[in-house]
């Protein structure tokens, strides 16, 4: 009986989004180890990069251990800190650096946004875990200040997602489920929704509602678009996009959870 109680208290699950995010990180780690290659979250490494395969396995191990670590009280702070550092470093080295090579490329900005969502979600965990029991911070940018940074990073990441819907309108329209009418209108609407949500989160107006709806939009995109596609005729690219969409949905869900207790409408607390 005591051992069961100890095991229960050893777990630290802050929200459903936390559990989903941890699960997807564990899944990414397992997939990476099985395939011996980079999962979508860790994309962007040039083929000519030295020790590329070893780096892919390192990413898989980091994903797996961090996903497990953020579920346990004793390891949550360290696991979230390591994962956040790793994601931010990856964002700078393999994503942001490409913007300087090809600034107009929407794909480059999309890739940055992809990693930024995962980094923002991890920062939420770090902000939660970086507060000691007495209310003091145990790390840089923890607590409420860390949450503000995480939310702004997430909001900024949503904007390239929305822009890509307009820039790649033809490709987006093809992905709209056939049973829905007005495919072009849906492509415009979903793109505009991402941009509006991103701006709302950055400026802090109706931020909780915007974050929640953006997570719902990503979840619906995963269910209505990628699930039928991989069920019908799966290939490597489609599975990769499906896994990436699941990861982004989990990250968005976690960021939305960070607004709990805040009003759905109105400006955020300062």
pLDDT band, residue 263 (cuts 50/70/90): confident
Which of these ranges, 46-50, 55-59, 133-137, has the smallest mean pLDDT?
Answer: 133-137
268 part of a folded domain: no
E strand segments, 95-166? none
124 part of a folded domain: yes
Tokens standing for residue 76: 């949550």
pLDDT at 40 over 90: no
Instruction: Give tens-digit pLDDT for 52-106.
Output: 999 999 999 999 999 999 999 889 989 999 999 999 999 999 988 877 777 777 6
Average of pLDDT values for 41-60? 91
267 part of a folded domain: no
> Which 3 state secondary structure label does DSSP give 36?
coil
103 part of a folded domain: yes
Other beta carbons less than 10 A from residue 54's beta carbon:
9
CA 265 – CA 259 distance, rounded (Å): 12
218 part of a folded domain: yes
262 part of a folded domain: no
263 part of a folded domain: no
> Which 3 state secondary structure label does DSSP give 26?
helix
Average of pLDDT values for 190-204? 96
CA 64 – CA 211 distance, rounded (Å): 26
> Which 3 state secondary structure label does DSSP give 72?
strand
Q: With 0-12 CB in 10 A as exposed, 13-18 as middle and 19+ as buried, what is 7?
A: exposed
Q: How many domains is the chain partitioned into structurally?
A: 1
Domain residues for 236?
2-257
Contact 190, 165 (CB under 8 A): yes
Quick one: what percent of the chain has pLDDT higher than 70? Answer: 90
CA 265 – CA 205 distance, rounded (Å): 7
CA 193 – CA 199 distance, rounded (Å): 10
* Mean pLDDT computed over every residue of the chain: 87
Instruction: Give tens-digit pLDDT for 207-223.
Output: 999 999 999 999 999 99
Rounded to 5 degrees, what angle do the CA atoms 169, 175, 176 make?
Answer: 90
């Amino acid at each position: 009986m005591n051992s069961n109680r100890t095991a229960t208290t050893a777990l630290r699950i802050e929200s459903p989004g936390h559990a989903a995010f941890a699960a997807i990180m564990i899944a990414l780690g397992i997939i990476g180890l099985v395939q011996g290659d980079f999962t979508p979250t860790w994309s962007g490494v040039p083929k000519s990069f030295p020790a590329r395969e070893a780096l892919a396995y390192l990413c898989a191990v980091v994903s797996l251990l961090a996903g497990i670590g953020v579920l346990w009280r004793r390891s949550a702070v360290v696991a979230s800190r390591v994962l956040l550092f790793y994601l931010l470093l990856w964002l700078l080295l393999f994503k942001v650096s490409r913007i300087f090579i090809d600034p107009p490329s929407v794909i480059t900005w999309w890739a940055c946004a992809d990693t930024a969502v995962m980094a923002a979600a991890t920062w939420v965990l770090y902000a939660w875990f970086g507060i000691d029991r007495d209310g003091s911070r145990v790390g840089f940018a923890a607590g409420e200040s860390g949450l503000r940074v995480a939310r702004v990073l997430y909001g900024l990441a949503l904007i390239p997602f929305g822009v890509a819907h307009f820039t790649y309108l033809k490709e987006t329209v093809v992905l709209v489920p056939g049973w829905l009418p007005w495919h072009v209108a849906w492509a415009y609407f979903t793109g505009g929704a991402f941009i509006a949500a991103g701006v709302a989160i950055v400026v802090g107006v109706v931020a909780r509602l915007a974050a929640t709806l953006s997570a719902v939009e990503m979840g619906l995109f995963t269910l209505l678009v990628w699930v039928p596609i991989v069920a019908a005729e799966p290939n490597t690219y489609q599975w990769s996009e499906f896994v990436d969409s699941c990861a982004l949905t989990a990250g968005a869900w976690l960021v939305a959870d960070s607004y709990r207790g805040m009003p759905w409408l109105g400006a955020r607390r300062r």
